[in-house]
Amino acid sequence: MKYENDPELSLLKRSQTIYPDSPDNALIEGFHNKFPQRDYVIEFDCPEFTSLCPVTGQPDFATIKIAYIPDEKCLESKSLKLFLGSFRNVGMFHEEITNTILEHIVNQIEPKWIRVLGVMNPRGGISIRVSAEYSKPSYKEAPPAWVYQDTTIRGLA
């Protein structure tokens, strides 16, 4: 296997999974993109996201959707799963959660473009959707129009 000796993929190679207790203690890993010259979109749907309300301590549930155009690195999914799981016992407002996810991913893999969408389940009869986006200053292309279409079309009914 070509990636088995990749020093950047330490979490994927571990025989035992260690669950981080906060996003600051979590590690996001990436692997070499074999097609950096081509713009293509990678999507992650994470329907089991949980965190805590920072005021009441009550659990919050959400779907996190990530769409990005990779540059030199692609996001490794196990590290993303562990990173998102690290929010489970952390109190944060939805806006902070979405932007924290975006910043951690941008800092680690430096994508050409990325959008993180947090679709929070209703609490008190109100559902909240938070979208945060980043584009490298050197990236002048627009992402495909479908990434902005109504997310009910894309499986978030």
- Catalytic-role residue among 53, 71, 74, 150: 53
53 is catalytic: yes
- Catalytic-role residue among 46, 60, 74, 150: 60
60 is catalytic: yes
Distance CA 122, CA 106 (A): 28
Alpha-carbon distance values, 116 to 4, 33, 68, 83 (Å): 29, 20, 9, 14
Distance CA 68, CA 58 (A): 31
Positions marked active-site: 53, 60
